[in-house]
Amino acid sequence: MQTIKGPGIFLAQFLGDKAPFNTLTGICKWAADLGFKAVQIPTNDPNIFNLQQAAESKTYADDIKGLILEQGLQISELSTHLQGQLVAVHPAYDDLFDAFAPAEVKKNPAARTQWAIQQLKYAAKASQNLGLTAHATFSGSLLWHTFHPWPQRPAGLVEAGFKELANRWLPILNYFDECGVNVCYEIHPGEDLFDGETYEMFLQEVDNHPRACLLYDPSHFVLQQLDYIQYIDFYHERIKAFHVKDAEFNPTGKQGTFGGYQSWLNRAGRYRSPGDGQVDFKRIFSKLTQYGYDGWAVMEWECCIKHPEDGAREGAAFINNHIIRVTEKAFDDFAAVDTDENFNRKILGL
């Protein structure tokens, strides 16, 4: 067993244009003052973290690491959720997802895809330069628009989609392998990797690549009504990152898992601050500890009700209260008896 590291915090939802949220130093000091011990850093804003520079300059990576250490923090992982999304985009979503891309590749899907792939490779090298072994990202999607099969999906469509997704990701996975870093896909609605079945289809197409790992976030499984506890039993060997994010699902006579096009506040399934939803984090932390998960527990704040700063303050304490310090002794050691092979045979009547 292994004691989970934490608490960490994903910075993406807290960055802003006002102090202390507009500089890496400021937001790290704020996080440390709340009791966090690590930060997961988004890499889409070069004013906060220059991904290409961190990949190409060990000196810059060391400076960033030192800056964060000065605040009493570590880096849990880098994140390329937005860039990973752009590795695979169906044309129906081109205009919306262009918002994640730089101006020079907007309206040019092929160039946008190549830019995203290069961003992931920068992330692999930057992670290596920072001494990290896990990286958080999305898979992107070519098939999401067909997730509810109406009209009927043509035979072979799903297989073709996963084959193309794998073709795009295999060179990335191989480069991450060269850098000694695991790609941790956040299994998420809107991605082609949105549950266990889709993850397994992807694994098959990438020949069970050892770097095709998982970021475990139970909130997305509550909204899908998937057994998020058994999921750990199935995939614990691949879980290399962990988001502590809560959710609730309260179906009505008017809406269920699809949400009726309502706002987050008015959906049957909605994300909540840690402790305010329905996720059984006691069982999750027990399961992950039992299986020897040795990564970070990182709070990702998404809530349609609570103020983010309140969620962050409560989240640090929430994670601390759930981390299990593993035991080095059996609870019944006090009743142990001296034994040897002869004694054991005697007990067996031999």
Q: For 168-211, write each residue's pLDDT tens digit.
A: 999 999 999 999 999 999 999 999 999 999 999 999 999 999 99
Q: Look at residue 240 and give its three-state secondary structure.
A: strand
Write the CATH number for 330: 3.20.20.150
Q: Look at residue 179 and give its three-state secondary structure.
A: helix
Phi, psi of 240 (to 5 degrees): -120, 0
Mean pLDDT value of segment 17-43: 97
How many Å separate Cα 128 from the centre of its chain? 18
Phi-psi region of 297 (alpha: psi -120 to 50; beta: other; left: phi over 0): beta
Find the largest Cα–Cα distance for the chain: 81
Residue 333 has pLDDT above 80, yes or no: no
Q: Comparing C-alpha atoms, which of 211, 219, 153, 165 is closest to residue 188?
A: 219
pLDDT band at 339 (very low <50, low <70, confident <90, very high): confident
The whole-angstrom separation of Cα 220 and Cα 86 is 20
Range of the domain at 272: 5-347
Using CA atoms, how far residue 165 sits from 14, 141, 162, 192, 334, in Å, is 31, 8, 5, 9, 56
What pLDDT score does 1 carry? 87
Residue 331 has pLDDT above 70, yes or no: no
Residues comprising the chain, all counted: 350
Residue 317 has pLDDT above 90, yes or no: yes
Residue 232 has pLDDT above 70, yes or no: yes
The whole-angstrom separation of Cα 274 and Cα 262 is 23
pLDDT band at 327 (very low <50, low <70, confident <90, very high): confident
> Looking at this protein, which amino acid is placed at residue 155?
A
pLDDT band at 229 (very low <50, low <70, confident <90, very high): very high
Residue 112 has pLDDT above 80, yes or no: yes
Residue 343 has pLDDT above 90, yes or no: no
pLDDT in tens, 39-67: 999 999 999 999 999 999 999 999 999 99
Percent of residues, the chain, with pLDDT higher than 70:
99
Sequence-separated (6 or more) residues with CB below 8 Å from residue 304 = 263, 264, 265, 270, 271, 272
Residue 152 has pLDDT above 70, yes or no: yes
The whole-angstrom separation of Cα 257 and Cα 118 is 35
Average pLDDT of the chain?
96
What pLDDT score does 332 carry? 60
Mean pLDDT value of segment 124-135: 98
pLDDT in tens, 251-273: 999 999 999 999 999 999 999 99
Residue 329 has pLDDT above 80, yes or no: no
CB 81 within 8 A of CB 12: yes
What pLDDT score does 226 carry? 98
Task: DSSP for 110-129, please give it.
Answer: HHHHHHHHHHHHHHHHHHHH
The whole-angstrom separation of Cα 269 and Cα 219 is 10
Give the chain's domain count: 1
Beta strands 269-272 and 246-249 are: antiparallel
What pLDDT score does 334 carry? 61
pLDDT band at 306 (very low <50, low <70, confident <90, very high): very high
Pick the residue with more confidence: 344 or 88?
88
Q: Which residues pair with 213 in a beta bridge?
A: 184
pLDDT band at 244 (very low <50, low <70, confident <90, very high): very high
Residue 303 has pLDDT above 80, yes or no: yes
